[in-house]
Chains A and B, each alone.
Chain A
Amino acid sequence: MEPGSRSTILAIALALGVLFALPFAAGSLGNPAMTTLATRILIYAIAAASLNLVLGYGGLVSFGHAAFFGIGGYTVGILFHHHRFNEALFGLMLGTDQFLITLPAAILVSGLFAAAIGALALRTAGVQFIMITLAFAQMLFFLFVALKRYGGDDGLIIRRRNGLFDLNMRDDTTFYFVTLVFVVLFFALVWRIVNSRFGLVLGGIRQGERRMAAIGVSTYRYKLAAFVISGMGAGLAGALWANYARFVSPDMMHWTKSGELMVMVILGGAGTLLGPLFGSAALILLETVLAAYTERWQVFLGPILIVIILFFRGGLAGLVDLVKKRL
């Protein structure tokens, strides 16, 4: 997608229009569950867009991105836990239930984790990178399973959603719009990043890392920066999810969650701006539809996934491009 091309602007305007009108449509159709479904899609779209930054634009196949999603969620959960029981955290500060504090905290903490994991994992490439990111995510998963203080296996319940100004966050429509604001901001940020010099270098690294190194780019630093930004984005999504579900558990960082995020990116079209949004919508809708018919929906999802990978390259965004070319 070229920045500023007419079709891109049209697509974005269309997507925004639909997303804005959705809760009102849900209300008038008498189907309020649509709003919460859309909230889920939007939150996962942020997580998938973060992964897309490293995976689609940078060519780094991270199979452990759920770790940052979970870290973001747990930051909100732990801060709330300490706020509720009035306990000091690390003997220093009290917890909080204010959105404007918990959200930046979640982004910061997941960024720090991404910096540590990325610094190690990026010493390798290719298949080792895939295995290592997976293994680190699994390590954090076990850590949170073991933390009995924060619920361990059972997770942590967040009684109330975080407060934001005087908004009634309990209301699902309000929370949907809050999420939508973050989605718009985050996608705008991704657009800025991929069209900046930094983004161009990142694309160059994907296409030929040795060439980029040969012309004097310190590729490790660029990859690490992208990985950290991406981890922060996933942390933001995790923080939103913790508020949406009012619950965090180690399952948020289970390896299947990392797999789901990758599926969303590929389904929507890796390396495209809106691809993750399409992918998130497609996977969650598919899950919802299949789950309505059978509890064992994964037995269908697996083969569908394989067929898509084997026969439809470029994902939904690629399909859209293909249709556009035919017209």
Chain B
Amino acid sequence: MTLVLEQLLNGLQLGVTLFLLAAGLTLIFGIMGIINLAHGALYMVGAYAGALTAKATGSFLLAVPAGLAAAGLTGIIIEYIVIRRLYDRDHLDQVLATYGLILFLNELVTILFGRQPLFVGVPPALSGAVEIIPGVPYSVYRLTIIAVGLMLALGLFLLITRTRLGMLIRAGATHREMVRALGVDIRLLYTLVFGLGALLAGFAGVMAGPLLSVQVGMGEQILIMTFVVVVVGGVGSIRGAFFGALIVGIVDTLLRAFMPMLMRGLVTNTSEADALSAGLSSMGVYVLMALVLLVRPQGLFAARG
């Protein structure tokens, strides 16, 4: 029971991280009509900037703004140089140009910081564990990620439903031409949305730093999971991104945690059982996606229309 609760929380933590990426990806697609493969690269940039700052200064409090700044700046540069020219192109051109961006950014990071993964310690203030219910200790750092992530989700929800900017974002997603005709600087809006997406991705990267090894390729790994989230939740919908991320995060974590036990019961050879369960649990979320597609091709929480 303790283990189940712990793994559920781990799943929630992964889900929250996925949400930070999926929200940006789905907003950028919903509003700008851009499929941005380089979104995972922004996550990587955030993680590297955070890890390097934490290493240099020893302060995680400085790492967070550094990661945000690096990801935001990279995002704005990318938007200004490449993405801006892709608005009127078809998805194919967008995929290829942003694929080119990934190749470039990954190699650049390798050249600058080498192939060796970086490891960041959990900030001392957040290390250790608390008992969430008596007798069940859980990592404070992971709890912090969950709390901050949920707060960001709430903030994003309020931003989009309650503010003027949010109104423009919603309007831009459904009636782009009309918004432009009413005199809104749509370019600025686009840059803002892209920057917001980059900041969220960068933040996810900084926060993931102490939990994973920071290395080249981490961006694509999570990008593909994010795609699964967006497809499961419904393209263009923030609500879909939120629930999709939680579902995918929890399913993936639970499978990874409990598949080995299940497999050891079925297959006698332990090492083969472990390899098989690792593979099967990696496949789990894709199977989930296939099931969703069979039942509701537009996603579980698709935006209207």
Residues of A within 8 Å of B107, CB to CB, are 296, 298-299, 302
Chain A residue with Cβ nearest B106: A298
Tell me if A255 and B290 are in contact (CB < 8 A). Answer: no
Segment 283-327 of A: residues with Cβ below 8 Å from B: 296, 298-299, 301-306, 309-310
Q: Which of A131, A132, A142, A262 has the most chain B CB atoms inside 10 A of its CB?
A: A131
Q: Are B227 and A149 in contact (CB under 8 A)?
A: no
* CB-contact partner of B224 in A128, A255, A298, A303, under 8 A: A255
* Cβ of B96 under 8 Å from chain A: yes
B125 at interface (Cβ–Cβ under 8 A)? no
B283 pairs with A143, CB closer than 8 A: yes
| Interface status of B187 (Cβ within 8 A of chain A) | no
B-contacting residues, A141-171, CB 8 Å: 142-143, 145-149, 152
CB distance from A322 to the nearest CB of B (A): 18
Kindly provide the distance from the CB of B36 to the nearest chain A CB, expressed in whole angstroms: 10
The stretch of B6-14, B55-63, B270-278 in contact with A is B270-278
Max chain B C-beta neighbours (<10 A), residue from A55, A147, A263, A302: A302
- A298: chain B residues at CB < 8 Å are 103-104, 106-107
Provide the residues of chain A in CB contact with B123, threshold 8 Å. Answer: none
Q: Which residues does chain B contribute within 8 Å of A303, judged by CB atoms? A: 100, 104
A270 at the interface (CB under 8 A from B): yes
A306 touches B227 (CB 8 A): no
Distance (Å) between the CB of A142 and the closest chain B CB?
A: 4
The answer to whether B206 has its CB under 8 Å from any CB of chain A is: no
In the A-B complex, the 8 residue pairs with the closest CB atoms: A146-B279, A302-B104, A305-B100, A302-B103, A139-B286, A299-B107, A142-B282, A131-B227
Q: How far is the CB of B301 from chain A (nearest CB, A)?
A: 14
CB pair B231–A135 under 8 Å, yes or no, is: yes
B279 touches A55 (CB 8 A): no
Judged by DSSP, the binding face of A is helix
Whether B100 and A134, one on each chain, are in contact in the complex, defined by CB atoms closer than 8 angstroms, is: no
B272 — which chain A residues lie within 8 A by C-beta? 148-149
**Alpha-carbon distance A296/B108, docked complex (angstroms):** 9
| Segment of A6-14, A91-99, A118-126 in the binding face | A118-126
Contact B103 A296 (CB under 8 A): no
Q: Assess the B279–A263 pair: CB atoms within 8 A.
A: no
The answer to whether A306 and B101 touch across the interface, beta carbons within 8 angstroms, is yes
Partner of A138, one of B96, B224, B276, B293: B224
Per-residue 0/1 for B25-52: is the Cβ within 8 Å of any A Cβ (1 yes, 0 no)? Answer: 0000100000100000000000000000
| Cβ-defined partner of B35 (8 Å) among A121, A130, A266, A270 | A130
Instruction: Determine if A131 and B283 form an interchain contact, defined as CB atoms under 8 angstroms apart.
Output: no
- In the assembled complex, which residues on chain A have CB atoms less than 8 Å from the CB atom of B297? 123-124, 128
Give every chain A residue within 8 A of B105 (Cβ-Cβ).
302
* Cα-based distance from A120 to B92 in the complex (angstroms): 21
Give which listed residue, B108, B280, B293, contacts A299 with CB less than 8 A.
Answer: B108
Give the complex CA separation of A146 and B278 in angstroms.
Answer: 7
A residues near B (Cβ < 8 Å) are 55, 61, 63, 120-121, 123-124, 126-128, 130-132, 134-136, 138-139, 142-143, 145-149, 152, 255, 259, 262-263, 266, 270, 296, 298-299, 301-306, 309-310
Asked if B279 and A147 make an inter-chain contact with CB atoms under 8 angstroms apart, the answer reads yes
- B181 part of interface (Cβ distance < 8 Å): no
Inside 8 A of A299's CB, which chain B residues have their CB? 103-104, 107-108, 111
Chain A residues in 8 Å Cβ range of B92: 55, 61, 262, 266, 270
Residues of A within 8 A of B235 (CB): 127-128
Task: Indicate whether B82 reaches chain A with its CB closer than 8 angstroms.
Answer: yes
In B86-111, the 8 Å CB interface with A consists of 86, 91-93, 95-97, 99-108, 110-111
The answer, among B231, B275, B286, for a CB contact under 8 Å with A146, is: B275
Known: A266-B96, A306-B97. A142 touches B279 (CB 8 A): yes
Interface assignment of B164: CB less than 8 Å from any CB of chain A: no
CA distance A63 to B231 in the complex (A): 15
B228 touches A302 (CB 8 A): no
Q: Which residues of A contact B286 (CB under 8 A)?
A: 135-136, 138-139
**Bound: A152/B224 CA distance, A:** 21
State whether A306 and B275 are in contact (beta carbons under 8 Å apart), knowing that A120-B294, A134-B224, A299-B108 are contacts in the complex: no
Instruction: Kindly list chain A residues whose C-beta atoms are within 8 Å of the C-beta of B110.
Output: 296
Chain A nearest CB, measured from B82 CB (Å): 6
